[in-house]
Amino acid sequence: MTVAALKSHNLPDAEARADLACAFRWTARLDMHEGVANHFSLAVDETGRRFLINPAMRHFSRIRASDLVLIDADDPATLERPDAPDPTAWGLHGALHRHCPHARCVMHVHSVHATVLASLADSRLPPIDQTSAAFFNRHVVDEHYGGLAFEEEGERCAGLLADPKVKVMVMGNHGVLVVGETVADTFDRLYYFERACETYIKALWTGRPLRLLDDAVAEKVAAETEAYPLDAARRHLDELRAILDAQEPDYAH
C-alpha cells in the first residue's frame, strides 16, 4: 500500500506516518536502535497533544506507517488500551507533548556514540568541527538520571526542554533525546548529533589535545546552520524514502 493508497483508505496523516516509518527503518539501518526499545513520536494536531508513536515491542526495522499508534497526552487511561504503547514511551513522550508544544517530533535512542558521551563525567559536546559546532548552545545535559522513563521521570525530563532553542538533550547515564518541528527536521538533527559525537569520541581516543573552536565562531556556525538557505533536512529524508521505496516499500503501507 503506497502513501496514496493509505490516503484512499482514509488513514489520517498518511504522509506524516510514512515519514516517521522511514525514520524508524533508517535508524535501524544505522544501528542506532535498541532492539524493541526506544521510541519516536510526532504530534498531529495544533496543540501538540495528540501524537503518533511506535507500537510496544516492535523492532524499528519492521515498523510500517499503518502500525503507528495515535494517542492523547491528556488521556490518563492510555495504558489501559489494548494497543497501549510501552509504559516508558508514554511516560517520556506523553510528558514532552504535554509541556513542550514546540517539540512536535521527539526521538529518543541509545545510539552508541551519544550514549558514550552521556556516560562521561562531562557530557557536553564541545565545538571541535563544523558538525559539532552546529549544536553549540543548542543542547542540554541531564545530570540527574532517575531511572526508567516512567511518568515521574518523564515529567522531570520535560522540564529541561522548556527553551525552544534547545533541541537536543544528552540524557546522562542514559542516551539522547532530540526534538524538532517535523520528522525530517528531527531525524536530520539526530543523525548529525550522533555523527558529531562519533567524531568527538574518536578524537578523545587519540589522547592528543583537541582543537576547540572559539565560542564566537561556534555560535556563528550554529546560527548559519539554522538559517541554511536549502531545506537540507527535508531533502535528506526524501532521499531516504526514495531508497526505501525501491528496497523496502512496505514501510509506507
CATH number, domain with residue 112: 3.40.225.10
163 DSSP assignment: S
The count of domains in the chain is: 1
Sheet harboring 105-109: ordered strands across?
Answer: 69-72, 50-53, 39-43, 105-109, 175-180, 168-171, 139-142
* Residue range of the domain that includes 238: 3-252
Phi, psi of 238 (to 5 degrees): -60, -40
Cell numbers 550522533: residue: 194
How much is the pLDDT for 123? 98
Gap between the Cα atoms of 19 and 30, Å rounded = 16
H or E stretch covering 162? none
The predicted pLDDT at position 1 comes to 47
The residue written with cell numbers 546522562 in the block is: 172
| Per-residue model confidence (pLDDT) at position 3 | 59
CB 250 within 8 A of CB 64: yes
Average pLDDT, consecutive stretches of 10 residues, N- to C-terminus, the chain (253 residues): 54 95 98 95 96 97 98 95 95 96 97 98 98 98 90 92 96 97 98 98 98 98 94 98 98 96
Q: What is the pLDDT of residue 9?
A: 58
